[in-house]
Structure formats: structure tokens, C-alpha cells
């Protein structure tokens, strides 16, 4: 039973490592959605340009009024994104320290187990090669 459980864990080690790494990055605040929004805000903020038109709005010019409405909506979205960015930055890495330390420990332990596994595989492979050479030496005529 233990051998079968160890085999399942061994076969799924990359899945477990990926899951723990994604959970760690999510807890730190680097999940893909929030990270994309944060980077998007930085890029948009760096590439912001002012555009103005020389047309005065009047009763016949509905396009100017539609632009003003869209501009108001965009300003509201910008304020909401700014608040979200502040929230992300404020929560950041200090969200839940116990979980953060636990995930860090789990990642380090998993890395050590993988390294140990590779070492034992290499050692076993060397023993098999040495035994096959010895067998060839003893059985040659």
C-alpha cells in the first residue's frame, strides 16, 4: 500500500510542484489576472497621451456628446482600477504570513525530494552499469 502511494506521488511530483508553485504565487499576489492588470496599468500609465478636438459641442453634434459620455465612463474605470491597484499593492506579499511560510517550506521540501530522487536514480543507474560490466567480464571467454 505504501509502495503504491509512493509511486502515485512520485508519478505526480511535477503536478504537485506546479500546484504548490501556483498557490504560492497566487498568495504572494502574482496570480495571472491581477498581475496582468497591474502591468496593464503601468503600461497604460506610461503611454498616456492627451488628445483634444477643436470642435465645440452643439445640438447638432451628437458625436462630441457621446465622446464626453465615454470619457466619463473611462474616468470612472480608471478610478476603479487605481483603487484595485492600491488594494493589490497593500495586500501584496503580507496577505497571510503563515500560509506564505508554509508554501515556502513546501516548495523547498519538494525541491529537496526531487533532488534526492535524481541522486538516487543516478546512483542506481551507475550500479546497474557496473554490474553489467562485471557480468560481461566474468562471462567472457
Contact assessment for residue 38 and residue 81, using Cβ atoms and an 8 Å cutoff:
no
Write out pLDDT tens, residues 59-70: 667 777 788 889
Q: Against a cut of 0.75, is the pTM above it?
A: no
CA torsion, ordered 116, 118, 121, 127, to nearest 10 deg? -80
Res. 9 pLDDT band, cuts 50 70 90: confident
- Mean pLDDT over each residue of the chain, to the nearest integer: 77
List C-alpha distances in Å: 84 to 22, 39, 60, 87, 89.
21, 13, 39, 5, 9
- Helix, strand, coil proportions of the chain in percent (round to 5)? 85, 0, 15
Cell of 98: 503563515
Write out pLDDT tens, residues 78-96: 999 988 888 877 766 556 6
| DSSP code at position 94 | G
Instruction: Give the domain extent around 36.
Output: 2-139
pLDDT recorded at residue 20: 80
Number of helices (H), then strands (E), in the chain? 5, 0
User: What is the C-alpha to C-alpha distance for residues 109 and 121, in angstroms, rounded to an integer?
Assistant: 18
Domain count, the chain: 1
Amino acid at each position: 500500500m505504501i509502495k503504491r502511494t509512493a509511486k502515485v506521488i512520485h508519478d505526480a511530483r511535477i503536478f504537485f510542484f506546479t500546484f504548490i508553485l501556483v498557490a504560492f504565487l497566487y498568495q504572494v499576489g502574482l496570480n495571472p489576472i491581477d498581475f496582468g492588470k497591474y502591468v496593464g496599468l503601468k503600461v497604460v500609465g506610461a503611454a498616456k497621451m492627451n488628445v483634444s478636438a477643436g470642435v465645440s459641442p452643439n445640438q447638432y453634434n451628437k458625436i462630441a456628446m457621446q465622446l464626453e459620455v465615454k470619457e466619463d465612463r473611462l474616468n470612472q474605470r480608471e478610478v476603479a482600477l487605481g483603487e484595485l491597484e492600491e488594494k493589490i499593492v497593500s495586500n501584496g506579499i503580507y496577505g497571510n504570513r503563515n500560509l506564505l511560510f508554509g508554501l515556502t517550506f513546501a516548495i523547498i521540501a519538494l525541491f529537496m525530494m526531487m533532488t534526492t530522487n535524481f541522486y538516487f536514480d543516478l546512483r542506481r543507474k551507475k550500479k546497474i552499469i557496473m554490474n553489467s560490466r562485471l557480468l560481461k567480464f566474468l562471462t567472457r571467454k
